[in-house]
């Protein structure tokens, strides 16, 4: 009994360390995002090279909406761990309606099971790589669709506030079984809390590259400090 308890405590400590490390990496990526947009003017933040591409302001709004979505899921995971209940949360395509370029949107609901089965064999590093680099363009879920226009000064404040809110969710001691709780989605696969932070960091890095491209666009408005 004592040995079993000791092993459980050790697993819990390792799991909490993994979450702390993954959160620190995400926070570092977010701080990089905030530095990149620290001196943008409203005109620069609203610049769009064409009607199909987002402005910096829209990208930031999308990042905030996505972080809020992930934070809600991770909070649910921690709550389940505290209650000692089911160790997996299933998120359907109807809840997070991400679509893939090679699958017509009308057929996506039919792909839930095949995608789930396929993701059982996809390593976490590959999921993060697909998110980090634009090797495949996917249509974002409606829930993370950005507003047409939002003040850059407000967005800068919200970037810092949202990160603080996410960090606050994990400020205390996590339940010992928190590292065993997972969330599953047909496209993203099954992920622990630490894995979710990895996906969040990869996603923000992808859009960080998008922001960098906008800042280098020949038509980007002049002014501000870079």
Which tens digit of pLDDT belongs to each residue from 59-118? 999 999 999 999 999 999 999 998 887 688 888 777 766 666 666 766 666 666 676 777
Quick check: 12 and 181 in contact, CB under 8 A? no
Whether residue 2 is predicted with pLDDT greater than 70 in this model: the reply is no
Taking phi first (over 0 means left), then psi (-120 to 50 degrees means alpha), and beta for anything else, what does residue 224 get?
left
What is the structure's pLDDT at 64? 97
What is the structure's pLDDT at 189? 85
What value does the mean pLDDT of the chain take?
Answer: 84
Which tens digit of pLDDT belongs to each residue from 130-179? 777 765 566 677 888 898 889 999 999 999 999 999 999 998 888 888 98
Whether residue 44 is predicted with pLDDT greater than 80 in this model: the reply is yes
Confidence bin at 8 (pLDDT 50/70/90)? very low
The DSSP code sequence of 74-86 is HHHHHHHHHHT--
Taking phi first (over 0 means left), then psi (-120 to 50 degrees means alpha), and beta for anything else, what does residue 84 get?
left
Quick check: 65 and 144 in contact, CB under 8 A? yes
Q: What is the pTM of this model?
A: 0.83
Q: How far apart are CA 32 and CA 183, in angstroms?
A: 27
Quick check: 119 and 188 in contact, CB under 8 A? yes
Whether residue 222 is predicted with pLDDT greater than 90 in this model: the reply is no
Helix (H, G, I), strand (E, B) or coil at 27: helix
Dihedral sign computed on CA atoms, order 117, 122, 126, 128 = positive
Give the domains, in start order, of the chain with CATH numbers: 2-215 (1.20.120.450)
């Amino acid at each position: 009994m004592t040995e079993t308890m000791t092993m459980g405590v050790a697993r819990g400590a390792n799991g909490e360390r993994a979450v702390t490390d993954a959160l620190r990496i995400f926070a570092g990526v977010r701080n990089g995002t905030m530095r990149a947009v620290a001196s943008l003017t409203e005109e620069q933040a609203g610049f769009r090279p064409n009607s199909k591409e987002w402005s910096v302001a829209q990208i930031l709004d999308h990042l905030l909406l996505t972080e809020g979505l992930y934070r809600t899921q991770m909070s649910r995971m921690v709550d389940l761990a505290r209650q000692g209940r089911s160790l997996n949360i299933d998120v359907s395509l109807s809840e997070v309606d991400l679509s893939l370029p090679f699958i017509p949107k009308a057929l996506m609901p039919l792909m839930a099971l095949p995608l789930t089965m396929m993701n059982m064999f996809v390593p976490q590093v590959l999921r993060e790589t697909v998110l980090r680099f634009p090797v495949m363009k996917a249509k974002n879920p409606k829930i993370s669709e950005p507003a047409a226009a939002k003040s850059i000064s407000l967005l800068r404040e919200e970037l810092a506030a949202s990160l603080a809110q996410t960090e606050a969710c994990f400020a205390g001691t996590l339940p010992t079984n928190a590292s065993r709780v997972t969330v599953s989605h047909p496209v993203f696969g099954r992920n622990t809390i630490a894995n979710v932070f990895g996906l969040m960091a990869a996603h923000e890095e992808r859009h960080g590259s998008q922001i960098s491209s906008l800042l280098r666009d020949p038509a980007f408005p002049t002014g501000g400090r870079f």
